Chains A and B, each alone.
Chain A
Amino acid sequence: MTAAADQLAAPRTRVDPPRPTTKGRYTLARTLRYAALIFFLVVVLIPVYVLLVTSFKGTGDADPSRAWALPQVWTAENWVTAWTALAPSIVRSVAVVVPSAIIAAFLGSLNGFVLARWRFRGADIVFTLILFGMFIPYQAVMIPLTQLVLDLGVPTGVPTLIMLHVVYGIPITTLIFRNYYMTVPHELIEAARVDGAGMLRTYASIVLPISIPSFVVVLIWQFTSAWNDFLFAVFFSSSQNGPVTVALNNLANGALLQNYGVSMAGALFASLPTLLVYIVLGKYFVGGLMSGSVKG
């Protein structure tokens, strides 16, 4: 997993050997490639342009003919409205995401270690059974889940969502840690065992300290997926007690239906935390993505 991420992070240094073709054709191919790369760059960034431009527009720019034009008058009004509407839900999102990411990462690390190192009969079956939980459509558990949450007496909103993100985060965190611990040299663990350390001691004193990179990957992954979750949020919270995705959807589809300026400013507020993580910790973010593919 991390190996894949490293490979990805390292740009190719190999220089293609000169082709037996004429130099002209080679340059043409390269020009075409850059043209295509830049074209796609622009296409991918179109929604970003739209978001920024629309969010700074006032009512004077409402005419459809000005849809793609820059604002005639730049105004921060939409930003203020969006922030006032979303700020409480952003705080709740943080309250959901931080504890659930930490707990899920810790449980995943315990499982990953046991499943990678303790080769009991059926270990692979247990692992596969846990892994399946990552792929199920949550629609297939939603109806009894509402009943279970009711029976457990967990309040809707933040507490329920913490619980659900922990539980349904276990499969992916287990997967990432297991794949990582498979690469830890056997001798390291064996040495501890020979010294008489039990499984728990080995875990706490040897395995945990070398797991930091994996923890970063897992925490980022859990943070991003819980922050962006809408499905659990819409079933188990409202815009009064729910995370920012629900509040944003309410803002964009509710009373301010046609006020795109406000909803686009809100969309940026709702995306800023994950975008910051992506920009600052991009390498680890990619590491998490890679491990999403089972074989990593």
Chain B
Amino acid sequence: MLNTLRRVGPPLLMLAPSLILVGVFVYGLIAANFSTSFTDNHTAAQATGQKPAVFVWFTNYLDLLANEDFQHSLMNLVLYTVVFLAGTMVMGFLWAWMLDKPVKGEGLFRSVYLFPMAVSFVASGVVWRWLLNSNQGEQASGLNRLFQIVGLDALQNNWWNNVTFGIVAIAIPAIWQLSGYVMALFLAGFRGIPDELREAARVDGASEWKLYRHVLFPQLSPVALSALIIIGHMSLKAFDLIMSISKPANYQTKVPAVDMFVFKSSFDYANAAAVGSILLIIVALVIVPYLIRTNREEKR
């Protein structure tokens, strides 16, 4: 008995603070959030506990999903995620592919491509709101003015003020910020491939395309998956950039995370919690299989 305690005691003691904190702040609060989302806690009086809230189970979820406003948010989220993912993966891969070959000043290119990652979305949002100004013609500034200067007037558009595709404009700064990160992942992937593999393929007479298709791409697929998961889950949480470039109340750029903030600000805790839970479920659908898979692979 005493021996067991001596063996199990110290490690348990070392883990305990974190286990308790994560248990309460992650799992406990997720449970509490679900519980709030099942109530009719829609008013300030209920939020502060002056009036009781009643369980209504899935009513809030059904109402939200049937609501055209919220459907628009979900649609925006899908659009944003697709553009953000495609943009960062293409740019990141392209940069890594170019820098993998011997390049003079490689360090400089790499550092510049990666630097936006160190800046907060709020700070870059300040500059991008200026760049994505929707004024055109005489009044144009930002990118629209730049298009005029370089003679590409036709490219002028109203950016994030477009009702259907405004959210795509918000994905541009996001791509600017995270392509360097994907590049870093791919570059590490490229460099992790032993030179012998390439040599062997070349000796076998494989063309450059075949070398990529059959040797390099398969080796890079775990990196690509990691990048997809990380960028994808960041995209689902999109909030900072939208808050700093647009406004929470703007219909054209709203996503669930912004809705949640608006609900919370108006003391509609039940709907705020329901939106949070919907986001959690979407993220979990992506992340949980990934975590389980990684766990299994490590054991092998």
Q: A219 contacts the other chain (Cβ, under 8 Å)?
A: no
Instruction: Quote the shortest CB–CB distance from A64 to chain B (angstroms).
Output: 4
Pairwise interchain contact B191-A167, C-beta atoms closer than 8 A = no
Instruction: Quote the shortest CB–CB distance from B129 to chain A (angstroms).
Output: 8
Pairwise interchain contact B32-A132, C-beta atoms closer than 8 A = no
In whole angstroms, what is the CA distance A33 to B101 when docked? 10
Pairwise interchain contact B119-A64, C-beta atoms closer than 8 A = no
Contact partner, A67, options B27, B145, B223, Cβ 8 Å? B145
* CB closest residue in chain B, given A235: B264
In whole angstroms, what is the CA distance A293 to B187 when docked? 14
Closest 7 A/B residue pairs (Cβ): A228-B120, A144-B32, A293-B226, A140-B280, A278-B118, A141-B29, A67-B141
Quick check: which of A121-129, A153-161, A183-191, A209-217 contacts chain B, the rest being far away? A121-129
In whole angstroms, what is the CA distance A260 to B18 when docked? 43
Pairwise interchain contact A293-B185, C-beta atoms closer than 8 A = yes
Pairwise interchain contact A143-B276, C-beta atoms closer than 8 A = yes
Interface residues in A197-245 (C-beta closer than 8 Å to B):
198-200, 203, 224, 227-231, 234-235, 245
Quick check: which of A73-81, A94-102, A263-271 contacts chain B, the rest being far away? A263-271
Pairwise interchain contact B126-A263, C-beta atoms closer than 8 A = yes
Q: B139 contacts the other chain (Cβ, under 8 Å)?
A: yes
Q: B102 contacts the other chain (Cβ, under 8 Å)?
A: yes
Q: A285 contacts the other chain (Cβ, under 8 Å)?
A: yes
Q: Which residues of B contact A115 (CB under 8 A)?
A: 15
Count of B interface residues, CB-CB < 8 Å: 113
Instruction: Quote the shortest CB–CB distance from B25 to chain A (angstroms).
Output: 5
* CB closest residue in chain B, given A67: B141
Interface residues in A106-148 (C-beta closer than 8 Å to B):
107-108, 110-111, 113-115, 118, 120, 124, 126, 128-133, 135-148
A264-B126 in contact given A11-B106, A110-B14, A139-B276 (Cβ < 8 Å): yes
Q: Which residues of A contact B24 (CB under 8 A)?
A: 148
Q: How large is the interface on A (under 10, 10 to 19, 20 to 34, 35 or more residues)?
A: 35 or more
Pairwise interchain contact B247-A274, C-beta atoms closer than 8 A = no
Q: Which residues of A contact B226 (CB under 8 A)?
A: 293-295
Q: Which residues of B contact A264 (CB under 8 A)?
A: 126-127, 130
Q: Which residues of A contact B162 (CB under 8 A)?
A: none
Q: Which residues of A contact B297 (CB under 8 A)?
A: 295
Instruction: Quote the shortest CB–CB distance from A237 to chain B (angstroms).
Output: 13
Pairwise interchain contact B124-A267, C-beta atoms closer than 8 A = yes
Pairwise interchain contact A44-B25, C-beta atoms closer than 8 A = no
* CB closest residue in chain B, given A13: B102
Pairwise interchain contact A290-B188, C-beta atoms closer than 8 A = yes
Pairwise interchain contact B260-A139, C-beta atoms closer than 8 A = yes
Q: List 16 A-B contacts (CB under 8 A).
A: A8-B184, A51-B126, A110-B15, A110-B17, A128-B295, A138-B237, A139-B239, A139-B276, A144-B33, A200-B14, A228-B123, A231-B237, A234-B243, A248-B126, A249-B244, A278-B114
Pairwise interchain contact A249-B29, C-beta atoms closer than 8 A = no
Q: B62 contacts the other chain (Cβ, under 8 Å)?
A: no
Pairwise interchain contact A135-B283, C-beta atoms closer than 8 A = yes
Q: A91 contacts the other chain (Cβ, under 8 Å)?
A: no
* CB closest residue in chain A, given B142: A67
Contact partner, B11, options A118, A166, A170, A227, Cβ 8 Å? A118
Instruction: Quote the shortest CB–CB distance from B88 to chain A (angstroms).
Output: 13
Interface residues in B234-288 (C-beta closer than 8 Å to A):
236-237, 239-240, 243-244, 247, 256-257, 260-261, 264, 269, 272-273, 275-277, 279-280, 283, 287-288
Pairwise interchain contact B118-A143, C-beta atoms closer than 8 A = no
Contact partner, B130, options A128, A174, A231, A260, Cβ 8 Å? A260
Instruction: Quote the shortest CB–CB distance from A173 to chain B (angstroms).
Output: 9
Q: Which residues of A contact B239 (CB under 8 A)?
A: 139, 230-231
In whole angstroms, what is the CA distance A51 to B116 when docked? 13
Q: Which residues of A contact B181 (CB under 8 A)?
A: 289
In whole angstroms, what is the CA distance A275 to B124 when docked? 12
Q: A253 contacts the other chain (Cβ, under 8 Å)?
A: yes
Interface residues in A1-31 (C-beta closer than 8 Å to B):
4-5, 7-8, 10-17
Instruction: Quote the shortest CB–CB distance from A113 to chain B (angstroms).
Output: 7
Q: Which residues of B contact A166 (CB under 8 A)?
A: 21
Q: Which residues of B contact A289 (CB under 8 A)?
A: 117, 181, 184-185
Instruction: Quote the shortest CB–CB distance from B245 to chain A (angstroms).
Output: 10
Pairwise interchain contact B102-A141, C-beta atoms closer than 8 A = no
Interface residues in B167-181 (C-beta closer than 8 Å to A):
176, 180-181
Pairwise interchain contact A47-B191, C-beta atoms closer than 8 A = no
* CB closest residue in chain B, given A266: B126
Pairwise interchain contact A37-B103, C-beta atoms closer than 8 A = yes
Flag B169-210 by CB within 8 Å of A: 1 or 0 each: 000000010001100110110011001000000100000000
In whole angstroms, what is the CA distance A170 to B22 when docked? 8
Q: Which residues of B contact A47 (CB under 8 A)?
A: 116, 124, 127-128, 131, 176
Q: B82 contacts the other chain (Cβ, under 8 Å)?
A: no
Instruction: Quote the shortest CB–CB distance from B212 to chain A (angstroms).
Output: 14
A11-B36 in contact given A267-B123, A271-B123, A274-B118 (Cβ < 8 Å): no
Pairwise interchain contact A50-B130, C-beta atoms closer than 8 A = yes
Q: Which residues of B contact A136 (CB under 8 A)?
A: 26, 30, 280, 283
Instruction: Quote the shortest CB–CB distance from B201 to chain A (angstroms).
Output: 12
Q: B2 contacts the other chain (Cβ, under 8 Å)?
A: no
Q: Which residues of B contact A199 (CB under 8 A)?
A: 10-11, 14
Flag A149-177 by CB within 8 Å of B: 1 or 0 each: 00000000000000000111011001000
